[in-house]
Amino acid sequence: MGCDICGRNAYLFMAVIEGSKLNVCEGCGKFGKVLGHAGSNLRPVEKKKTVEKREEAVESIVSDYNIRIKNAREKRKMTQEELAKAIAEKESVIHKIESRAIEPDLNLARKLERFFKMSLIIKGDLDTDNKQKKQEARSDVLTIGDLLSK
């Protein structure tokens, strides 16, 4: 006797899938609620829940990226146009990055890192990065609490 859904000959479980009790294999059991082992007294099956708590490393661009890029370009005595051609980007993008109008994405930052042999990307955990951004945002904004404490 095989699985009622896929027909595979495997160890079967009794499961309720869309209101019907079926004998299903372990793979098809995920489509419903497993009641127990098929052919037994239907003792409940405990599913193992594996919770992986992993810290995500977040990559971000350094805050003084524009100064680092401009200094590295000037150190090589290059114009923005020459740099743009060398890394296959538009001159306007280089100008906007150096004037801090835009922040380079990670791909462009990596390209600039390789070209200038310098560091523009920092790695940190998600919590530290969020705390730092909140602190930076708070330093610029005046709140009612700031007014009351003065």
pTM: 0.48
72-80: long-range contacts, CB 8 A cutoff, minimum separation 24: 72/116, 72/118, 73/98, 73/116, 76/116
| Element at 59 (helix H, strand E) | strand 57-61
Domains of the chain: 1-42 (no CATH), 57-140 (1.10.260.40)
pLDDT in tens, 108-135: 999 999 999 999 999 876 555 555 555 5
What percent of the chain clears pLDDT 70, i.e. is strictly above it? 75
pLDDT in tens, 1-37: 788 888 888 888 888 988 888 888 888 888 888 888 7
Average pLDDT of span 99-110: 92
Residue 69 CB neighbour total at 10 angstroms: 23
- pLDDT, position 11: 85
- pLDDT, position 13: 85
- pLDDT, position 46: 55
Tokens of 40: 């037994």
First-to-last C-alpha distance (Å) of the chain: 79
- pLDDT, position 30: 87
pLDDT in tens, 39-70: 654 444 455 566 666 666 788 899 999 999 99
